[in-house]
Amino acid sequence: MSSRLLDSVAVNAGISIVGFGLAPLLKKIAIEGGVTPWMVSLVSACGAAIVSLLILARLRPKNIGQLFDRRHFMPLLIIGIVATGIVTLLAAIALSTTTATNRSLFLSAYPAATLLFAHLILGERLRAQQYMAIALLLTGLVVMNDSSAGLKFTQGFWLLVATLPLIGLTDVYSKRLVSDVRPLVLATGRNLYGLIFIAAVALFVELGDQLSFGQAVALLLAGGGQGIAVWTLFRAFERSKASLVSSIVAASPFVTLGLEVTFLELTLTPVQWLGMFIVITAAVWLAQRGRSESA
């Protein structure tokens, strides 16, 4: 692939869509195959950390030292433990009782959590339209729990809800570092220290013995795909308006849905289709509003 093609906004955004959309599906397939959420988290975190380190070493080798710098070590450690460690574990456990598509929709909801906590902690202004978009997004997530017996909230839903404030808080915390730490270093530190945390927890839990070679490769690809998706997202941000890129990447749940329908025979009720449409529309609207506020 030519360097000119790699610089394309559409190509970078497209890679992000595939990476973010594929990862939840691969993890769900592994869990359906008997792999424990702990093992899913550990192996996928390995993939994310390895890919992030390779990209950093290739593109910014002089910045690797920032991962271990005394000034940045503790912030990166906290961000990694919370955003990659705890959130990855909660999301993997959630996949035992919810769909990969639902997980992917929560990924689209994370910018809303970040905006809300930036308002609460940093005092950043939120306008009425942004409040409306956040309310719509949350409504869509609730509607996705429709079933033949009405709304049914599984343990997986509540675990994914718990990830929203964790991501919101760590994103706001990360925002304070971007003037001193490059985004790629921040993403790599987040994945590296998240992996170390998960590996430490793994010493005290039952990982299970159901992991096959194929499942291990798939989970490494899931984590590595997310690592690449974050990198290409940053590249797209550098080359185009953040609102445009965020709006495009918000479509990643459609990738997850298409794959889950194909490989896991997922079916959605008409109300769930409506919920998915609401979430993605609200995420796109929020991205557009966020850009107009920063302009």
Task: Judge whether residue 288 has pLDDT over 80.
Answer: no
Residue 286's pLDDT band, with cuts at 50, 70 and 90, is confident
pLDDT digits (tens, 9 = 90+) for 83-104: 999 999 999 999 999 999 999 9
What is residue 229's predicted lDDT score, i.e. its pLDDT?
87
Report the pLDDT averaged over residues 237-249. Answer: 61
Percent of the chain clearing pLDDT 70 (strictly above): 89
The ranges assigned to domains in the chain are 3-294
pLDDT digits (tens, 9 = 90+) for 151-209: 888 999 999 999 999 988 998 888 778 778 888 888 899 999 999 999 999 999 988 87
In the predicted model, what is the mean pLDDT of the chain?
86
What is residue 43's predicted lDDT score, i.e. its pLDDT?
97
Q: Return the structure tokens found at 27.
A: 């993890």
Task: Please choose, from the candidates 190, 173, 44, the residue with its C-alpha nearest in 3D space to the C-alpha of residue 103.
Answer: 44
d(CA 77, CA 83) in angstroms, rounded, equals: 10
Task: Please choose, from the candidates 181, 188, 178, the residue with its C-alpha nearest in 3D space to the C-alpha of residue 54.
Answer: 188
What is residue 22's predicted lDDT score, i.e. its pLDDT?
94
More reliable by pLDDT, 125 or 240: 125
* Residue 202: count of CB within 10 angstroms of its CB: 16
The highest-confidence range among 130-139, 141-150, 238-247, by mean pLDDT, is: 130-139
What is residue 123's predicted lDDT score, i.e. its pLDDT?
83
Q: Which residues pair with 150 in a beta bridge?
A: 147
Residue 257's pLDDT band, with cuts at 50, 70 and 90, is very high
DSSP the chain: --HHHHT-HHHHHHHHHHHHHHHHHHHHHHHHTT--HHHHHHHHHHHHHHHHHHHHHHH-GGGGGGGT-HHHHHHHHHHIIIIIIIHHHHHHHHTTTS-HHHHHHHHHHHHHHHHHHHHHHH-----HHHHHHHHHHHHHHHHTTEETTEE---HHHHHHHHHHHHHHHHHHHHHTTTTTS-HHHHHHHHHHHHHHHHHHHHTTS---S---HHHHHHHHHHHHHHHHHHHHHHHHHHHS-HHHHHHHHTTHHHHHHHHHHHHS-----HHHHHHHHHHHHHHHHHHHHHHHHH-
Q: Return the structure tokens found at 199.
A: 């590996």
What is residue 289's predicted lDDT score, i.e. its pLDDT?
63
- Lowest-confidence segment of 17-26, 32-41, 132-141, 241-250 by average pLDDT: 241-250
Report the pLDDT averaged over residues 67-72. Answer: 90
